[in-house]
Amino acid sequence: MGHVKGLMCKECKKEYAKEPIHVCEFCFGPLEVNYDYEAIKKVV
């Protein structure tokens, strides 16, 4: 998980730290992984 910045709710866009959670605390929307695409570009 070296290029993972954190998690983000797909519905309300609230950001979360890298934790083992799957649902937003505020709107109960699904969380998706927020990647550091600039860092990934440097190694691909």
What pLDDT shows up at residue 40?
A: 93
Flag whether pLDDT at 1 surpasses 60. Answer: no
31-44 tens-digit pLDDT: 999 999 999 999 98
| pLDDT range class, residue 2, cuts 50, 70, 90 | confident
Cβ(5)–Cβ(36) under 8 Å? yes
Distances (CA, A) of 36 to 20, 21, 31, 39: 19, 19, 16, 6
CA distance 32 to 23: 9
CA distance 37 to 43: 10
DSSP character for 14? -
